[in-house]
């Protein structure tokens, strides 16, 4: 009889946190800490293995073991299309629910499943270490269930956890950061200082109407979830709303969004009320045929600096410049008192971007204003600005506290991934000089404007791709005392990490919108990479999660590292 591979060996390939694979280290580094060792426990550590016998000399026992394995194979390795009754145990990275096969501990990931919820799910995708499941029907609601106030919450990709008690949302986010810091960052819970390093998450005191920017898409056909098709008979009509989760070409029609401000909801309602009128000859852009006029409706909210009253910018993104076609919409929405700017970005490309090649002011002024940490910022249609202004105040205060500035004007700050300069400018008046780097041209231009607007002349902003730095990087600015790094979701490139380890600034404040890549980069900066002869140079002092976006899986973190 042919020898049977060891079941024990097979089981060891499983991992309790399969979502860690999405941020796994490069293949040439996996020998240092393979994913199978990223966790101190395995989902099958407690599965009895005493019945398993891999002794090839005992054919009778082997036959019994094979029969037993074949009987349980469907439950251990669920097949695609198989329907299972599952219970969600926790939330993982990106807000997916973690479930396990009861008999074996095999991990299944399910979108929109929440802790404590029992449900029927169909296996849609199977990998070696886990499977993905689509929820079909809830059997028992999750333990922190609340009624979602938004009618689109079950189908819109924006607010996956709206029906989860907010206190439970922030607990889950804090736990995700903690697990990533331990399993990916390799910071030990046995370290007596660990509890001081890992701070409790800062919740957001406003859970709705906190976004100052929303982007809606026009589509030639409304998308309706399969389970609601019988209730809707207008699926062939035009749509204005949000993209269905996972689809670039399907638009869920939305009449109101509870995340944006009330004035912008009035604008959305006004546009929805008239744009489908056939007499206006307005057509939505079709991403397949590339025909149509209206692409996106972008709404931004700021504040009048003198009165504090809300100001709204409306930006129509179109495939060509035809202002006469937009006049009926302009006349409709300019009567809303908060609307002070109506813009038209013209994007002739076939892509789905909302940034235009040309920009026109159709009504009012070309920018709106906002204040942050005592500074004024002018925001154009395509400017980057923190999406949650109120919570950005909290975030920037934490950054300033971590920077521990002397305040005597002697320190130099290097602001990496500076965007429009908001972080560096809030620190500039207490330091000698700020040097900011950013790859986006428009962001650098806005940073210069914001500096001049606030009378700040000790800030230099330079265009540069921080993923492509060479050995000359750093030659045109003095050695900084403090480095602020606020990368996008992929985190920092290895070239930049090497530079920082060689630079040896006294403090690094790492601001992250992705705790997974953040934990990876903290590991490199603190523990080094022996296989590449890279030594760590920093000690992690604090990591502070911040909830910037309630009801979404997104988590911000502010981390302080000090030179060893």
Sequence ranges of the binding site for S-adenosyl-L-methionine: 386, 417, 438, 486
Radius of gyration of the chain (CA): 26
> Is there a contact between 440 and 447 (Cβ–Cβ < 8 Å)?
no
DSSP secondary structure letter of residue 3? P
CA distances to 419, 472, 493, 527, 559 from 499, rounded to whole Å, are 20, 10, 10, 15, 19
Cα dihedral across residues 453, 458, 462, 467: positive or negative: negative
**Residue 548 CB-half CA count within 13 A:** 23
In 3D, which of 252, 260, 248, 256 has the Cα closest to residue 272?
A: 256
Tokens of 470: 């060479």
User: Of 258, 264, 265, 273, nearest to 340 (Cα)?
Assistant: 264
Question: How far is CA 242 from each of CA 154, 223, 346, rounded to the nearest angstrom?
Answer: 13, 10, 20
CA 391 to chain CA centroid, Å, is 16
- Burial (CB < 10 A; 0-12, 13-18, 19+), residue 341, is buried
Which alpha helices (DSSP H) does 221-311 contain, by range? Answer: 262-274
CB 339 within 8 A of CB 269: no
Catalytic residue among 513, 518, 526, 564: 513
Separation of alpha carbons 291 and 283, rounded Å: 8
Residue 185, Cβ neighbours under 10 Å: how many?
Answer: 26
Query: Could you tell me which residues are annotated as the binding site?
Result: 386, 417, 438, 486
Please, what is the Cα angle at 114 between 557 and 556, to 5 degrees?
10
User: Residue 524's CB: how many other CB atoms inside 10 A?
Assistant: 23
Q: If you search the block for the tokens 């509870």, which residue do you land on?
A: 258
∠ CA(278), CA(280), CA(285), 5° rounding? 80
Geometric angle at alpha carbon 203, from 199 and 206, rounded to 5°: 165
Tokens of 142: 């999750």
Retrieve residue 376's tokens: 């004024």
- Catalytic, 513? Answer yes
Distance CA 554, CA 20 (A): 16
> Could you tell me how many residues make up the chain?
564
Longest alpha-carbon distance in the chain: 87
**Across 47-82, where does the E strand assignment appear?**
none
Burial class from Cβ neighbours inside 10 Å (0-12, 13-18, 19+) for residue 149 reads exposed
The residues that are catalytic are 513
């Amino acid at each position: 009889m042919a020898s049977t591979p060891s079941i024990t060996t097979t089981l060891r390939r499983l991992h309790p946190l399969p979502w860690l694979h999405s941020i796994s280290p490069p293949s040439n580094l996996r020998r240092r800490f393979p994913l199978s060792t990223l966790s101190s426990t395995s989902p099958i550590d407690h599965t009895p293995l005493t019945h398993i016998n891999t002794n090839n000399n005992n054919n009778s026992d082997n036959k019994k073991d094979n029969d037993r394995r074949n009987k349980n194979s469907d439950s251990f390795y669920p097949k695609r299309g198989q329907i299972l009754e599952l219970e969600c145990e926790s939330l993982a990275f990106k807000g997916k629910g973690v479930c396990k096969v009861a008999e074996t501990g095999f991990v299944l990931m399910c979108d929109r499943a929440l802790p404590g919820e029992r449900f029927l799910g169909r296996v849609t995708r199977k990998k070696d270490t886990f499977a993905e499941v689509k929820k079909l029907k809830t059997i028992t609601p999750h333990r922190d269930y609340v009624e979602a106030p938004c009618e689109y919450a079950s189908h819109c990709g924006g607010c996956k956890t709206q029906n989860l008690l907010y206190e439970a949302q922030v607990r889950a986010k804090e736990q995700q950061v903690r697990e990533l810091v331990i399993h990916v960052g390799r910071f030990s819970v046995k370290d007596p200082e660990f509890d001081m390093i890992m701070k409790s998450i800062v919740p957001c005191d406003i859970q709705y109407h906190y976004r100052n920017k929303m982007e809606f898409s026009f589509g030639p056909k409304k998308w309706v979830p399969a389970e609601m098709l019988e209730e809707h008979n207008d699926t062939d009509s035009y749509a204005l709303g949000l993209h269905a989760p996972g689809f670039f070409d399907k638009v869920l029609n939305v009449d109101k969004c509870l995340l944006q401000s009330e004035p912008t909801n009035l604008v959305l309602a006004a546009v929805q009320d008239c744009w489908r009128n056939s007499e206006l000859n307005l057509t939505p852009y079709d991403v397949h045929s590339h025909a149509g006029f209206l692409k996106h409706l972008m709404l931004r909210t700021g504040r009048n600096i003198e009165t504090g009253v809300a100001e709204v910018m409306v930006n129509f993104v179109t495939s060509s410049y035809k202002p006469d076609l937009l006049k009926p919409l302009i006349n409709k929405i300019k009567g809303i008192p908060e609307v002070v700017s109506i813009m038209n970005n013209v994007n002739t490309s076939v892509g789905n971007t909302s940034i235009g090649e040309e920009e026109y002011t159709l009504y009012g002024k070309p920018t709106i204003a906002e204040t942050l940490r005592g500074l004024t910022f002018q925001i154009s249609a395509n400017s980057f600005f923190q999406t949650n202004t109120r919570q950005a105040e909290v975030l920037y205060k934490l950054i300033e506290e971590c920077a521990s500035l002397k305040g005597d004007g002697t320190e130099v700050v290097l602001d990496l991934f500076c965007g429009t300069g908001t972080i560096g400018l809030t620190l500039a008046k207490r330091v000698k000089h700020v040097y900011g780097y950013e790859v986006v041209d428009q962001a650098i231009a806005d940073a210069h404007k914001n500096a001049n607007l606030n009378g700040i002349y000790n800030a230099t902003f330079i265009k540069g791709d921080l993923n492509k730095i060479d050995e000359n990087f750093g030659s045109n600015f003095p050695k900084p005392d403090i480095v602020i790094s606020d990368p996008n979701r992929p985190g920092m490139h290895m070239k930049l990490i090497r530079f920082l380890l060689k630079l040896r600034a006294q403090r690094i404040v790492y601001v992250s919108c992705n705790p997974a890549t953040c934990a990876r980069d903290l590991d490199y900066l603190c523990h080094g990479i022996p296989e590449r002869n890279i030594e760590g140079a920093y000690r992690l002092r604090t990591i502070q999660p911040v909830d910037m976006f309630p009801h979404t899986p997104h988590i911000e973190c502010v981390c302080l590292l000090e030179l060893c």
